[in-house]
Structure 1
Amino acid sequence: MTVIADERISSVLQTAEGVLTRRAGTSVQLDEPEDLGGTGRSSVIRARVLDNPVSLDRTVVVKAFDDQTAPSQVLREIASYRYATALPTASRPGPQLLASDFEERLLVLTDLGHGRSMVELLASTDADEVERGVSAWGQALGRMHAATLGGEEDFDTLMRVSGKTKGGSGRITVAGGGIGDAAAASVRAHDELLETIDVDAVEGSLALLERGLRLFDAGDFRDFRAFSPADVGPGNILINGDGVQFMDYEWGEFRDATLDVAYALATFPALLSADVVMERPRLELALVQAWRGEVKPLWPSINDRKLALRIFTARALWVWLSTYWMIQGDASGHDWALHTADARVVLARWADLADSGEAAGIDESFVDAADQVQEALRIYWFG
Structure 2
Amino acid sequence: MTLVAHDRIDSVLDAAQDVLTRRAGSQVQIDDPEDLGGSGRSTVVRFRVADNPVSLDRTVVVKAFDDNSEAGQVLREIASYRYATALPTVSRPGPQLLASDLDTRILVLTDLGSGRGMLDQLASSDIDDIHRGVSAWGQALGRMHAATYGGEDDFQALLRVSGRGGVGPRDVADDPVFAGIGGEASESVRRADEVAAEVGVDVPDEFRRVLDSGLTLFDEGRFRAFSPSDVGPDNILINDDGVQFMDYEWGAFRDATLDVAYALTTFPAALSDQGVAHQVELESALVDAWRSEAGPLWPALNDDTTLGNLLLTPRTLWTWLGTYWMLESDTSGHDWALHTSDPRVVTARWADLAVAADAMAGGDVVESVAGVAHDVQRALQRLWFE
TM bin (shorter chain) = over 0.9
| Other structure's SS at 2:30 match | strand
Kindly indicate whether the alpha-carbon contact (under 8 Å) linking 2:19 and 2:100 is maintained by their aligned counterparts in 1.
Answer: yes
TM-score of the superposed pair, with normalisation by structure 1: 0.95
| Other structure's SS at 1:276 match | helix
Match of 2:370 in 1: 367
Match of 2:246 in 1: 247
Instruction: Give how far 1:304 is off.
Output: 2.0
Match of 1:177 in 2: 179
Counterpart amino acid of residue 237 in structure 1 = I
Instruction: Give how far 1:3 is off.
Output: 11
Alignment of 1:23-34 (within 5 A): 23-34=23-34
Counterpart amino acid of residue 213 in structure 2 = R
Give CA-to-partner distance per residue, 1:73-127, whole Å, 9 cap, x none. Answer: 1010000000000001111000000000001100000000000000000000111
User: Is 1:94–2:90 an aligned residue pair?
Assistant: no
Distance in 2 of aligned mates of 1:321 and 1:59: 39
Distance in 2 of aligned mates of 1:202 and 1:349: 20
Divergent runs of 4+, >3 A: 2-5
Match of 2:270 in 1: 271
Kindly indicate whether the alpha-carbon contact (under 8 Å) linking 2:4 and 2:37 is maintained by their aligned counterparts in 1.
Answer: no
Kindly indicate whether the alpha-carbon contact (under 8 Å) linking 1:326 and 1:341 is maintained by their aligned counterparts in 2.
Answer: yes
Which ranges of structure 1 fall in alignment gaps of 5 or more residues? Answer: none
Kindly indicate whether the alpha-carbon contact (under 8 Å) linking 2:203 and 2:372 is maintained by their aligned counterparts in 1.
Answer: no
| CA distance 1:379–1:203, change in 2 (3 Å) | farther
Kindly indicate whether the alpha-carbon contact (under 8 Å) linking 2:357 and 2:370 is maintained by their aligned counterparts in 1.
Answer: yes
Match of 1:295 in 2: 294
Match of 2:321 in 1: 321
Match of 1:376 in 2: 379
Counterpart amino acid of residue 271 in structure 1 = A
TM-score of the superposed pair, with normalisation by structure 2: 0.94
Match of 1:190 in 2: 192
Give CA-to-partner distance per residue, 1:317-366, whole Å, 9 cap, x none. Answer: 00000000000252146210000000000000000001111223352232
Give CA-to-partner distance per residue, 1:21-47, whole Å, 9 cap, x none. Answer: 000000000100000000001000000
User: Is 1:280–2:279 an aligned residue pair?
Assistant: yes
Counterpart amino acid of residue 94 in structure 1 = G
Distance in 2 of aligned mates of 1:39 and 1:360: 38
Kindly indicate whether the alpha-carbon contact (under 8 Å) linking 1:3 and 1:34 is maintained by their aligned counterparts in 2.
Answer: no
Instruction: Give how far 1:5 is off.
Output: 7.2
Kindly indicate whether the alpha-carbon contact (under 8 Å) linking 2:238 and 2:244 is maintained by their aligned counterparts in 1.
Answer: yes
Match of 1:66 in 2: 66
Kindly indicate whether the alpha-carbon contact (under 8 Å) linking 1:3 and 1:32 is maintained by their aligned counterparts in 2.
Answer: no
Kindly indicate whether the alpha-carbon contact (under 8 Å) linking 1:49 and 1:60 is maintained by their aligned counterparts in 2.
Answer: yes
Distance in 2 of aligned mates of 1:149 and 1:320: 28
Counterpart amino acid of residue 364 in structure 1 = E
Kindly indicate whether the alpha-carbon contact (under 8 Å) linking 1:203 and 1:369 is maintained by their aligned counterparts in 2.
Answer: no
Kindly indicate whether the alpha-carbon contact (under 8 Å) linking 1:203 and 1:365 is maintained by their aligned counterparts in 2.
Answer: no
Which ranges of structure 2 fall in alignment gaps of 5 or more residues? Answer: none
Distance in 1 of aligned mates of 2:116 and 2:86: 26
Distance in 1 of aligned mates of 2:203 and 2:130: 39
Kindly indicate whether the alpha-carbon contact (under 8 Å) linking 2:300 and 2:306 is maintained by their aligned counterparts in 1.
Answer: no
Distance in 2 of aligned mates of 1:316 and 1:342: 19
Kindly indicate whether the alpha-carbon contact (under 8 Å) linking 2:343 and 2:384 is maintained by their aligned counterparts in 1.
Answer: yes
Alignment of 1:14-93 (within 5 A): 14-93=14-93
Give CA-to-partner distance per residue, 1:252-300, whole Å, 9 cap, x none. Answer: 0000000000000000000111122110000000000000000111101
Counterpart amino acid of residue 30 in structure 2 = L
Kindly indicate whether the alpha-carbon contact (under 8 Å) linking 1:334 and 1:340 is maintained by their aligned counterparts in 2.
Answer: no
Counterpart amino acid of residue 56 in structure 1 = L
Match of 2:209 in 1: 207
| Other structure's SS at 2:72 match | helix
Instruction: Give how far 1:233 is off.
Output: 0.5
Counterpart amino acid of residue 370 in structure 1 = A
Give CA-to-partner distance per residue, 1:175-228, whole Å, 9 cap, x none. Answer: 33310000000000111211122212335210110111111113xx2x300000
Distance in 1 of aligned mates of 2:43 and 2:73: 15
Counterpart amino acid of residue 71 in structure 2 = P
Kindly indicate whether the alpha-carbon contact (under 8 Å) linking 1:212 and 1:314 is maintained by their aligned counterparts in 2.
Answer: yes
Kindly indicate whether the alpha-carbon contact (under 8 Å) linking 1:146 and 1:295 is maintained by their aligned counterparts in 2.
Answer: yes
User: Is 1:153–2:149 an aligned residue pair?
Assistant: no
| Identical aligned residues as a percent | 64
Distance in 2 of aligned mates of 1:351 and 1:301: 28
Distance in 1 of aligned mates of 2:203 and 2:286: 33
Distance in 2 of aligned mates of 1:171 and 1:353: 40
Match of 1:358 in 2: 358
Instruction: Give how far 1:4 is off.
Output: 8.1
Kindly indicate whether the alpha-carbon contact (under 8 Å) linking 1:46 and 1:59 is maintained by their aligned counterparts in 2.
Answer: yes
Kindly indicate whether the alpha-carbon contact (under 8 Å) linking 1:4 and 1:33 is maintained by their aligned counterparts in 2.
Answer: no
Distance in 1 of aligned mates of 2:4 and 2:374: 50
Matched residues, number: 375
Match of 2:233 in 1: 234
| Other structure's SS at 2:54 match | coil
Distance in 2 of aligned mates of 1:298 and 1:307: 14
Counterpart amino acid of residue 150 in structure 2 = G
Distance in 1 of aligned mates of 2:182 and 2:315: 13
Q: Provide the aligned C-alpha RMSD in A.
A: 1.5
